[in-house]
Structure formats: structure tokens, C-alpha cells
Amino acid sequence: MLYFLTYMYKKYGNKFMCFSPPVMLFTFIIEFVFAFYTLWRYKWTTVTRLIVAMLLLLGLFQLTEYMICGGLGMGHAAWARLGYIAITLLPALGLHLVATLGKLKLKPLVIAAYVTAIAYVAYFAFAGQSIVGDVCTTNYAVFKVQGWGAAVYGFYYYAWLLVAMGIAAFASNKKTAQANVLHWMVFGYASFILPTTAANLVNPATLSGIPSIMCGFAVLLAIVLVWRVLPLSKTPLRQQATKVSRKHA
């Protein structure tokens, strides 16, 4: 691990830029550590499953970026496909998590999100020309979706993110026991959507690197999920369950 960090550090001009390969690898490690920490710390509930899935997929995308830049294993196109498949599932998982945390009756909407996500997963997995290019720069990796598909995919992605964020914001304003945790979900969404949007407005050239930039900032969402959302969701702790069982023994 240290060898690869040193190698990528030297390869990219001894510069640790915002989303450079060494940062990609470090982010991958953080998100996978968070996922395993969650599995160790909390009982296996719907909230836990969704958060672990989100953390693993975020980490997987960072790993695919690193592999594209490092040139290891599969060809670049294969890593790009895997990366897109990973992030494609995130909006549906996020909406599902909001619905679960807020105890909201959103089943038809959640199903619709999963159906569109699965359709895109199939597209990236089986359409031979779904990803037509990938470039590793010193700041981020650039993935190119074929033709008009990029605009449609961008609409799909932002639409579901904003729907989940909007529902969480609306529900968090009600005086319910779930309001506080939903406030943190709104903050988590804003922590990566707003910086990405700001970067695109300041420098339109970054539009080509939206997946990389957005998932780079999404490490902030990972922190919010593990350190605020999980504790506030009242998900049972594994340690507490162990202590109770010992007392009754």
C-alpha cells in the first residue's frame, strides 16, 4: 500500500491535488474502514445495510478511479464501467435511507428509483460503447458517457439526489422524533452537491469530471452517515446486545 502511494505521488509531480490518485486511494481506505466499523459497531438493520452499501459503493468508485490511474489489473474501460455501476446505485440507496430514517411511506418512489438505477446498471454493464473514454488527470478522473447519454444520465443522477434531499428537508421541518437525523441527511447531501456545483460554476471545464469530483466530496457524506446519522437513528449497538444477553444468562 505504501509503495503504491509513493509511486503515484512521484508519478503526478509530487503534488497531492484535490482528487489526485493518492487521494483516491486514501478516500477508498477511509470509506471501506467506515463500512467495516459500522458492521462491527451496529446490529444488522435496514439502516445499517443501506449505509454499509453506500459506503462500500463510494469506496469502490474511488478504487476504480485509482486503478484507471494506476493501470493495474483490468483495462481502463472495464474499471470505468465498474465505477459507473457503483455510483449509479447510490441515489436509490440514499432515497431508501431517507424513507427508512423518516419512517416515510415512499415505497412507489423508492421502487421507481431502483428501477431506473438497475436500468442504467444494465446499460453500463452490457452496452459495449456505454463508456467511450476515460482519462486520468492530476486533479480527477474523467469518464465519458456516449453521446446524449451523458446529459440524460446527469439528469437522472441529480434528479434523484435532489428528490431525496428535498424530501429529507421537508420531513425534517416537522416536529417528529426523526427530525434531527433527517436534518443531518440534508447536511450530508449538501456537503457534496453544493461544492461540486460551485466548482462547476467557477470552472465549467470541471463538468467533465463531475463523477470524480462529486464522489471525492462524498467522503464528507460518509463521515456524516457514520458519526451523526447512525448514532441518531437509534440503531442498536452490537456491544449493548452482548451485554444484555450476558446479564440474562
User: Residue 201's pLDDT is what?
Assistant: 63
CB 83 within 8 A of CB 143: yes
Residue 73: count of CB within 10 angstroms of its CB:
8
User: Residue 4's pLDDT is what?
Assistant: 47
User: What residue has cell string 464528507?
Assistant: 220
Task: Please give the full DSSP string across 97-136, using - where no structure is assigned.
Answer: HHHHHHT---HHHHHHHHHHHHHHHHHHHH-TTSEEEEEE
First to last CA, the chain: 44
Q: How confident is the model at residue 52 (pLDDT cuts 50, 70, 90)?
A: very high
pTM of the model as a whole: 0.83
Strands (E), the chain: 131-136, 141-145
Residue 208 or residue 153, greater confidence = 153
Mean pLDDT for the stretch of residues 85-103: 95
pLDDT of residue 244 exceeding 50, the answer is no
User: Residue 108's pLDDT is what?
Assistant: 97
Q: Is residue 69 packed enough to be buried (19+ CB in 10 Å), middle (13-18) or exposed (0-12)? A: buried
Look at 119-128, 174-183, 236-245 and tell me which has the smallest mean pLDDT: 236-245
Q: Which domains does the chain have, with CATH numbers?
A: 4-8+18-236 (1.20.1070.10)
User: Residue 127's pLDDT is what?
Assistant: 75
pLDDT of residue 205 exceeding 60, the answer is no
79: its cell numbers:
474499471
Residues 157-171: tens digit of each pLDDT: 899 999 999 999 999
